[in-house]
Amino acid sequence: MEKIIIVAHGSPRKDANNLESFARAIAITLKKQSEDIKYAYLQFENPSVEQAIQDCINEKAKTIVIHPLFLSSGAHVGSDIPMIIENFRKKYPDLQILYTKPLGLHEKLIDIVKERIDELKPLKAEEIEEKSMEIIDNELNLKNIPPSLKHIIKRVIHATADFEFKESMRFHPEAVPTAIKALKAGKDILVDVEMVRAGISKKYIGKSKIVCYLDRINEYETTKTEKAIQMALNQEKNIGIVAIGNSPTALIKAIEIFNEKKIKDKLLIGMPVGFVKALEAKMLLSIQDFPYITNLSRKGGSAATVAVVNSLLKIKKEV
């Protein structure tokens, strides 16, 4: 069993001793259990290096990797920590203790310094978005995904900072063509809640309107959003896209109406979030033969749904 110990100097200021969150991030990056990544301080704070090594030994570690989180090989890196390691090696001759180099003049540190300097410069909204998309491209492989679907997935990830959507999103083959045709024809967008309405970009909406019936509902048997979607789909004649980001029951009702009316010329976006019926509703949507966009996960919500709609609006503008 291998354990890793990250060692920092430590500070009299308690808020400066934040290795715990750093160690947790290292564990995620290395795909290790959190208990396999330890942290320690040379001064002012616990656990000490000796305590951290002893904890690893008590947990039956066979190998301990110690990394000094220092820029250079000063007295602490070159003498103090090695002395502690040597004492443990003598006491536990069967234990393998490996000691890495400090951070040193690594090229990636230069990139970090540049990034910190760049952070001081005010960025325009377009520059922030461009930088975000660049980060997503660098961290995500979308090579085999059609451009329009890639555009939507990236927008959802950008809105949620959640890369899981790359694997969980599902698209009917006619989803994007149906949406673009509807938007170019000035068809309206029906939403389940005001939060979705508020998030949809007015910049690219064109002649389309955003419709929400939620404030018209006073009496309802199940949920208010379900009743609102039902009423709107029965009364509105110019709906081209239905976007549901909050209510699983509203999504289930929309699926029923699409099937009852044999609707094929509208897109149903269903990405509600939650633990009750959300995943079930989206799984039901994913097997329909009318145009849909959804994600097979408990995750979702208004921000993800808005990202899909805004992406479609931008695609419409570009084609």
Among all residues, which ones are annotated catalytic? 158
- 129/119 Cα distance (integer angstroms): 14
Q: Tell me the two tokens of residue 64.
A: 């301990």
For β-strands 210-211 and 292-295, DSSP reports them as: unpaired
Q: Tell me the two tokens of residue 310.
A: 């805004």
Cα-Cα-Cα-Cα dihedral of 46, 50, 54, 57, to 10°?
Answer: 130
For β-strands 188-191 and 210-211, DSSP reports them as: parallel
Q: Tell me the two tokens of residue 58.
A: 């008590």
Backbone angles phi, psi at 33, to 5 degrees: -65, 145
- 151/247 Cα distance (integer angstroms): 25
On whether the CB atoms of residues 280 and 301 are closer than 8 A, the answer is: no
- 158/168 Cα distance (integer angstroms): 15
Nearest residue to 36 (alpha-carbon basis) of 44, 45, 27:
27
Half-sphere exposure of 214 (CA within 13 A, CB side): 16
Residues forming a β-bridge with 241: 189, 267
Half-sphere exposure of 7 (CA within 13 A, CB side): 26
Nearest residue to 151 (alpha-carbon basis) of 136, 168, 139:
136
- Sign of the torsion formed by the C-alpha atoms of 97, 101, 102 and 103: negative
